[in-house]
Structure 1
């Protein structure tokens, strides 16, 4: 099935996040919801309804892309992915807090420094 040129140009951008409903999305969503724990493949299969035969290969692909970490028989969301998610959450909260505060332009203007005053 052909795709549009616009869609073709954005393929690399779409590859960053798994499509909702896919095995990678289900597994990442589960692990992101439990960032302080690590799980076996069997536990991940039980919690995500992804078949056991698909969990292993999906986790390997996610590990190669740096999204999950693996030690022994346990898997968890990677520190890098968790850090990015935490930073995005923090940035969103900061932006939202600024939107909730009333901005008094007159007060700001009264405290603003005129750059021409520094030249005197």
Structure 2
């Protein structure tokens, strides 16, 4: 289905905060967010995230343009953007939940599940 490309591109750039878990930006921001008071060289970020150094440098530059990371040669750190505080808290919270409850068995839950629509008074 065709879309108005300019409108779509504008909307994407406004909402593109690099929080898609399948991106290098997500992995870099997650790593830097876990160390908010530290600065890292691109090679250190590459080692920690298993992303190629060239990709790390390019991604960091794009993130800097969005105000999501800070740079003082040769170090990079998480930015002070309020958007990051909320998303980092959410990402770390979800990771903690996964670490704690990741092994729980959910098989068969639907056998005992209650549909709230069935609980209404008619």
Shorter-chain TM-score range: 0.5 to 0.7
Structure ID, larger Rg: 1
Unaligned runs of 5+ residues in structure 1 are 90-120
Partner residue of 2:16? 15
Task: Give 1 or 2: higher helix fraction.
Answer: 1
Partner residue of 2:64? 63
Q: Say whether the 8 Å CA contact 2:33–2:78 is kept in structure 1.
A: yes
Deviation for aligned residue 1:69 = 0.3
Unaligned runs of 5+ residues in structure 2 are 90-122
Partner residue of 1:34? 35
Mapped to 1, the partners of 2:21 and 2:46 lie a distance apart of 17
Partner residue of 1:85? 85
Taking structure 1 as reference, are residues 35 and 12 closer, same or farther at Cα in structure 2, changes over 3 Å only?
A: same
Deviation for aligned residue 1:11 = 4.1
Q: Say whether the 8 Å CA contact 2:18–2:25 is kept in structure 1.
A: no
Q: Detail structure 1 runs of 4+ shifted over 3 Å in the superposition.
A: 10-14
Matched residue of 1:34: which SS? coil
